[in-house]
Amino acid sequence: MAIVANTFTTYDAVGIREDLSDIIYNISPEETPFISNAARKSAKQTLFEWQSDALNAASTSNAVLDGDDVASFAAVTPTTRLGNYTQISRKDVVISGTTEVVDKAGRKSELSYQLAKRGSELKRDMEAILLYNQAAGAGNTTTARTTAGLPAFLRTNTNAGSGGSDPTVSGGIVNAARTDGTQRAFTETILKDVVKQVYDEGGNPSTLMVGTFNKQAVSAFTGIAGQRFNVRGNRASTIIGAADIHVSDFGNLSIVPNRFQRARDAFVIDFSHLAVRELRPMTQEQLAKTGDAEKRMIICEYGLEVGAEASCGIAADLTTS
């Protein structure tokens, strides 16, 4: 049906106010489960160190004569000295003076809004770096220092694909990250193997941390705890499709998906032996004003401490699609 001639419509009108919501929708996730669960400790140097030790294997022949004397003494095994470097990460923003004072939808201060975004981005970067397969690097005036990530520490309890090899340590420092192998499907057999290795070494893992694809793969494992949801009366029922607990032979594992780790890795973790060391906690710095703009930088200096790497394990080289 046609409209009457000369009908004044919104297509002709001038001065219609815009309808712009005061809500800014941001879908980007901010959860950082590794940082949230690891302990926080301070660091005093760019190279921070710690010691690890272990008891001798249990002996079934420890029987001595009544009244026997000690003729010889067992050798004392020294502690193992380990270390890692801190890494500097930062985010920056510059906002013009005019942008800060004009009337804006969804935020009063552009500077405050952008700083909040940068802080969340920096935390996501830290999560990804701490779970990244990189070796420790002392750095120099032309190369930034790097902190060794969790995959580069784990060399005792591992299950890797063909061609994959464990990282190496020199002088207590991870000098070479692990070598990636041929990817293969994540199976319950692989998981059980890593969990058993960790338990045999004395670890008590409580968490299985995986990427999103392998989180769904784990949901099909037979060791997943039974999932039930009771419904009373005439209420609609809830379908539960996620596996949150894997009941292993050596304890329950909470299954935690992580968007920021490498999807090819699955970590069996005992968080009591992990810590994020901070030389400089996340701090906002005001940079020198050189014009009609406000300059800010958010910076932090941090590193990963793996107190006893044998307390954790890795199923490496998993398929991701």
Calpha distance 200→283 (Å, rounded): 42
* pLDDT at residue 237 tops 70: no
When pLDDT is averaged across residues 205-224 and rounded to a whole number, the result is 90
What is the reported pLDDT for 173?
96
Calpha distance 50→39 (Å, rounded): 15
Model pLDDT for residues 142-152, shown as the tens digit of each residue: 999 999 999 99
Considering its fold, how many domains does the chain have in total? 1
Task: Read off the tokens for 231.
Answer: 């419904």
What is the reported pLDDT for 227?
52
Residue whose C-alpha is closest to residue 81's, from 42, 52, 44, 56:
52
Task: State the pLDDT confidence band at 205, using cuts at 50, 70 and 90.
Answer: very high
When pLDDT is averaged across residues 41-59 and rounded to a whole number, the result is 94
Task: Assess if residue 268 is contained within a domain.
Answer: yes
Task: Assess if residue 179 is contained within a domain.
Answer: yes
Q: How far is CA 9 from CA 18, 19, 89, in A?
A: 16, 18, 55
Model pLDDT for residues 30-39, shown as the tens digit of each residue: 889 999 999 9
Place of tokens 């996730």: 29
Which residues are CB-contacts of 69 (< 8 A; sequence separation ≥ 6)? none
Task: Assess if residue 184 is contained within a domain.
Answer: yes
Task: Assess if residue 7 is contained within a domain.
Answer: no
What is the reported pLDDT for 138?
96
Half-sphere exposure of 74 (CA within 13 A, CB side): 5
Task: Assess if residue 117 is contained within a domain.
Answer: yes
Task: Assess if residue 24 is contained within a domain.
Answer: no
The per-residue DSSP string of 255-280 comes to EEE-TTS-TT-EEEE-GGGEEEEEEE
Question: Mean of the per-residue pLDDT values for the chain?
Answer: 90
pTM above the 0.85 mark? Answer: yes
Q: Residue 85's domain spans which residues?
A: 33-51+80-228+241-315
CATH of residue 123: 3.90.1690
